Amino acid sequence: MPKLKRSRVWLYFTAKDANSAACNKCLKVIMCKGGNTSNLMKHMASHGVFLKAEKCTAFDNLQQDITPSTSTAGVVPVLGVSNIQEPEEESPAPSPASVAEMITDDDDGSSTRSSLDTPFTLAKKAKMTKEKVDEIHRAVTKFIVKDLHPFSTVESPSFREMSTALNPRYQPPSRDDLSNTLVPAWYCVEKSNLIQNLAQVNKVAITCDGWTSIAQDHFLTVTVHYIYKGKMKQNVLSTEAVYESQTGPVVAKEISSVVEQFHLGGKIIAATVDNACNMDVALKKLDFLKVGCFAHTLNLAAQKVYDIPAVSSWCAKIRPVVVWLKRSSLSKTVLREKQRILNLPEHNVILDVKTRWNSLFLMVERFMEQFDAIQAAALDLRLRKPMEKDKLERFTHTDLMKAEEFIKCMQVLYTSTMCVSSDKSPTCSQIIPILATLEAHFRRCDEDSVFTSSIKGKVWGSLQKRYQVFADNINAHEK
């Protein structure tokens, strides 16, 4: 007779044989030797199903009052912890001295214990109440989550020692309890509260972006922006790992799933995304108004300067020097000494990365700021004479003039990027004024050198293609 499967995790799996089971959601086969369900629960966590969190009540006091007209999705119920009991008035742990006071000496010299206190009642009094344990659990979870500490912190000897010193009767949660019970329970309560708040909002805007971690895992993040009780709010709705090729229809399906979870159908007035083609296809499929990320557009225009041969050859004289200074620990020490002597800011040099916004501008600006200190460091006898020193010596006055022209030309693009990159206030209204300023700034003049003229033509040419309608309106107005 087959063994009865009592774990609720089997509601999401179909047993293949004695040592494996198939997920009903993604059909992936998971090993479960001897009926062990640990791997199955870990797999369900990747689908956002945390079975252990369903019994946790530590965060129930954070749950907003639910009215009949609002959604109740995501309400989480109780955490069974070994050191909690039914609510009762908390009493301090009996110390050896207090226990000794309970023992009285009779006239005949014999000792008797109070009839009201027994070892069982004393042990019961030493336990913490459920409310106190939940309060400390919430504080520990907040400490780990808000400050981005690793889950293993709660099992470190120093954390346990600190916890014992603060309250000897408190047993900190294990890493497994924290990751599979407390954090998911808190998330579900916060999700439920957010759904209730969004139910009272008529219109919202969303932003969507895909990114890849250092471990080469791809994620899709969806953020909502709305006005609630007269204040502008924003919340991250979802950051989930995706394992399918991110084509337009797939991205549309993923965004639609998040929208349905939070009951935002018919409320989205616009979606802000980057300039990727799959995002264009996804928003067209979802019938959302697209507002392209203006900061990303500015960065794409700034990257066009890499295609200018004169800029590439000129940057090739700066970049090796910066790499040399960043690679050598001794050169950094020498550079610090020269900065102090020359009374310059003790800043590190910056190496440009093509995909990092404005990094070429920042590299050149910092190079010019520290040029005197870099020259002095290169002449220091403690440093060997590598090839990079020769390149620095060949950095002529004309190259310095080009660097100044480059900074003057690209400064406004960097400032514009910073202006529209605020996450605390809306910046969409700044796009048209900024474009007008950029159009005037990057207009070629007779006084411009060939170097500056090529930069202006390349940058504004890129912006003009993306905002052709606006550019036509400017030209018509000028005529």
Dump pLDDT digits (tens) for 202-220. 999 999 998 888 878 888 9
Lowest-confidence region among 148-162, 246-260, 386-400, 415-429: 386-400
pLDDT at 467: 78
- Confidence at 416, pLDDT banded by 50, 70, 90: very high
Q: Region 83-105: what's the mean pLDDT?
A: 43
Query: Is the pLDDT confidence value at 436 over 70?
Result: yes
How large is the average pLDDT for residues 187-202? 91
The percent of residues above 70 in pLDDT, for the chain, comes to 80
User: Per-residue pLDDT averaged across 427-435, rounded?
Assistant: 88
The pLDDT assigned to 69 comes to 44
pLDDT of the residue at 125: 61
Look at residue 72 in the predicted model and tell me its pLDDT: 39
pLDDT at 198 over 90: yes
Q: Which pLDDT value is given to residue 33?
A: 80
pLDDT above 90 (res 341): yes
Q: Where in the chain is the domain with CATH 3.30.420.40?
A: 201-292
Render pLDDT for 319-336 as a digit per residue (tens, 0 to 9). Answer: 888 888 888 778 888 999
Average model confidence (pLDDT) across the chain: 81
How high is the pLDDT of residue 213?
Answer: 81
- Right CATH for 201-292 from 3.40.50.800, 3.40.50.261, 3.30.420.40, 3.40.640.10: 3.30.420.40
The 10s digit of each residue's pLDDT in 268-288 is 999 999 888 889 999 999 999
pLDDT, mean of residues 158-175:
91
Q: What pLDDT digit, counting tens, does each position of 121-162 carry?
A: 655 666 788 888 889 999 999 999 999 999 999 999 999 999
- Whether 479 has a pLDDT exceeding 70, the answer reads no
What is the reported pTM? 0.69
Highest mean pLDDT among 30-39, 45-54, 57-66: 30-39
Give me the mean pLDDT over the 14-39 stretch.
82
317: pLDDT confidence band, cut at 50, 70 and 90? confident
Res 472: pLDDT = 55
8, pLDDT greater than 80: no
Q: Phi/psi zone of residue 313: left (φ > 0), alpha (ψ -120 to 50 degrees), beta?
A: alpha
Q: Above 60 in pLDDT, residue 89?
A: no
Q: Which range is least confidently modeled, 4-18, 136-150, 413-427?
A: 4-18
Over 50: is that where the pLDDT of 88 sits?
Answer: no
User: Residue 448 above 60 pLDDT?
Assistant: yes
User: Which is higher by pLDDT, 7 or 101?
Assistant: 7
Q: What is the pLDDT of residue 109?
A: 45
**pLDDT above 90 (res 245):** no
Q: Mean pLDDT throughout 108-126?
A: 56
Residue 38: what pLDDT?
Answer: 80
Whether the predicted pLDDT of 471 surpasses 60: no
Q: Confidence band (pLDDT; 50, 70, 90) for 393?
A: low
**Residue 15 or residue 350, greater confidence:** 350
